[in-house]
């Protein structure tokens, strides 16, 4: 059995917050697959289903973020599960918006929900972090985390959650790197479209390297390369 725990805060007031992206992820998995109606147990909302032939429990702690581990720990003890049977999905300030990371164990990075999970569930569980970006200064972090996603965020948030839901079976099969590739590809095409069209314009760094090469390297005296370099830099050979 696998527990997939999405972290967030309960109630309509927090539903659209960046801090609630874990709830959003679990909701997306719930909608895409055949899970039982949500019920209340273990100080949480839970739903049971099956993915890749294995029983899966979706859980959304209702204890508020800082006490998430109380709910998840209670469920793990009830089912006699180990940390390796848990996947936690949550927001990450230190990742750019839309970037994801999945690994087993690690530090809490100042995330109070993860501190609580570590205390109640052990540390060697898988952690799927979803980047929400950093506002730039510490003073803005609180409002950023507890603020709603902007409309512009839907450009990456919706395809990310849809792709995670479509490929949730990979979490059960421990196909972590494959899942990360799927999530990256879901956003990659959008990112490519947003790149400026003037890709061939040299950057400042390229200009510096050109100047260095022109000033310090001997140029061929004859041949096609010499003719090309003369057109680019004139007739000087050093």
Order of strands across the sheet with 126-131? 39-41, 44-51, 54-61, 2-6, 86-92, 126-131, 100-104
What pLDDT, in 10s, does the model give residues 1-27?
A: 999 999 999 999 999 999 999 999 999
For residue 221, what pLDDT is reported? 54
- Examine the domain organization and report whether 108 and 215 are in the same domain: no
Q: Choose, from 19, 134, 142, 216, the residue flagged as catalytic.
A: 19
* Residues 138-159, mean pLDDT to the nearest whole number: 94
Residue 198 domain-assigned? no
Q: What is the pTM of this model?
A: 0.77
Residue 174 domain-assigned? yes
- Examine the domain organization and report whether 51 and 93 are in the same domain: yes
Annotation marks residue 19 as catalytic: yes
Torsion of the alpha carbons at 35, 181, 20 and 116, rounded to the nearest 10: 90
- Examine the domain organization and report whether 161 and 92 are in the same domain: yes
For residue 199, what pLDDT is reported? 43
Is 133 or 201 the better-scoring residue by pLDDT? 133
- Domain extent, residue 88, equals 2-193
Residue 199 domain-assigned? no
* Residues 173-189, mean pLDDT to the nearest whole number: 89
């Amino acid at each position: 059995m696998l527990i997939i725990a999405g972290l967030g805060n309960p109630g309509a007031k927090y539903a659209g917050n960046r801090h609630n992206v874990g709830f959003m992820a679990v909701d997306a998995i719930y909608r895409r697959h055949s899970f039982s109606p949500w019920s209340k147990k273990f100080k949480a909302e839970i739903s049971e289903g099956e993915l890749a032939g294995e029983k899966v429990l979706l859980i959304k702690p209702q204890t508020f973020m800082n006490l998430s581990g109380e709910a998840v720990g209670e469920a793990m003890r009830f089912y006699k599960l180990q940390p390796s049977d848990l996947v936690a999905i949550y927001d990450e300030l230190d990742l750019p918006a839309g970037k994801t990371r999945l690994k087993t164990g690690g530090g809490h990075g100042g995330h109070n929900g993860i501190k609580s999970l570590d205390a109640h569930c052990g540390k060697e569980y898988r952690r799927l972090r979803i980047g929400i970006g950093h506002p730039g200064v510490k003073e803005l972090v609180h409002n950023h985390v507890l603020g709603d996603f902007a409309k512009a965020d839907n450009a990456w948030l919706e395809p990310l959650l849809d792709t995670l839901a479509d490929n949730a079976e990979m979490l059960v099969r421990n196909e972590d790197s494959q899942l990360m590739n799927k999530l990256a590809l879901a956003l990659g095409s959008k990112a490519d479209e947003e790149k400026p069209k003037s890709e061939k314009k040299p950057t400042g760094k390229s200009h510096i390297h050109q100047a260095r090469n022109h000033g310090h390297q001997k140029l061929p005296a004859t041949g096609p390369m010499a003719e090309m370099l003369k057109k680019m830099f004139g007739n000087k050979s050093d």
